[in-house]
Amino acid sequence: MDVHVQGGPAEPFLGARDLFETEHDLDRPVTIRIREDPDERTRVSHDEESHLLIISQQAATSAMARELALHEFAHMHHYEREHPSHTQSTREAIYLGLAGESVERRTLTHCYQIANHMKDIYADDVWLDVAPADKLVDFLESSLAAAVLDAPREQGAWDRLTAGADPDITAVNAAFALGLVERHDLADEGHPIYDLAHAAAADAPHVSLDSFKRHFRSLARDPDESEYRKALVDVTQAYATANGADQAAD
């Protein structure tokens, strides 16, 4: 793997490269640019010749830097090999799932976030074979704890400071975390992440934690394009229904 790091410490990324290439490889070179802006943790782009990862300095110097790099290398791996999760048009599948329904803008935004979770499941399937997952579980736990604490306690208080403060998508994020944990046997049911997930579910009782967890956990390991599209359409419809989508007038 050809990896070039610009603007910051190279060690976490080269260490991730060494781990990743024990099981996988990338055909195209990777450029990693470390920037000061803390608001955008990571962003990846591709062309026919290369991959570009832009990452904040805060993320690049964090305890999770190596794991973040492994995760993004896995996305690049799927992109190169045209995995359905990385070639299927997310917009097309979501609009197919919402056909004939009227939804709030926030619900549509959340559907895109859920689609990103599905891509992340497949990326994590790749890199979790080559590195320990302890720090990932800690990261999921702390992120979920922060979102649960940030959830408003007054019904109807919809002025959100962050997307994570929305109880509905926080419940789905909790389902994603548990689905990933159970898909790879990363923790037992006594782990605190389960208590946090149930607390998140209690704040959004119309969003089924168990249903969304099963969806993420049971995604087909090697789907074809049709199978993946159906999975994305199904979860889009499930979330829209949970959020009270109305039949469109037309």
> Which pLDDT score, from 0 to 100, does residue 159 have?
36
Helix axes 225-242, 105-127, angle to 10 degrees: 140
Lowest mean pLDDT among 14-23, 99-108, 125-134: 99-108
Give SS3 for 247.
strand
Do 108 and 239 form a contact (C-beta atoms < 8 A)? no
H helices of 208-248, in order, are 209-217, 225-242
Chain segment 108-120, per-residue pLDDT in tens: 999 999 999 999 9
> Which pLDDT score, from 0 to 100, does residue 163 have?
46
Do 86 and 120 form a contact (C-beta atoms < 8 A)? no
Give the separation between CA 237 and CA 95, rounded to whole angstroms.
10
Give the pLDDT mean for 72-86. 96
Give the separation between CA 26 and CA 70, rounded to whole angstroms.
12
Ramachandran bin of 26, using left for φ above 0, alpha for ψ from -120 to 50, beta for the remaining angles: beta
> Which pLDDT score, from 0 to 100, does residue 245 have?
58
Chain segment 162-198, per-residue pLDDT in tens: 444 689 999 999 999 999 999 999 999 999 999 999 9
Return the biggest CA–CA distance within the chain: 57
H helices of the chain, in order, are 11-20, 57-60, 65-80, 84-87, 90-97, 105-127, 134-150, 167-183, 192-202, 209-217, 225-242
pTM over 0.85: yes
Q: What percentage of the chain reaches a pLDDT higher than 70?
A: 90
The mean of the pLDDT values for the chain is 89
> Which pLDDT score, from 0 to 100, does residue 40 have?
63
Ramachandran bin of 179, using left for φ above 0, alpha for ψ from -120 to 50, beta for the remaining angles: alpha
> Which pLDDT score, from 0 to 100, does residue 48 have?
87
> Which pLDDT score, from 0 to 100, does residue 164 have?
47
Q: How confident is the model at residue 142 (pLDDT cuts 50, 70, 90)?
A: very high
Chain segment 3-62, per-residue pLDDT in tens: 999 999 999 999 999 999 999 999 999 999 999 876 667 788 998 899 999 999 999 999
Chain segment 192-219, per-residue pLDDT in tens: 999 999 999 999 999 999 999 999 999 9
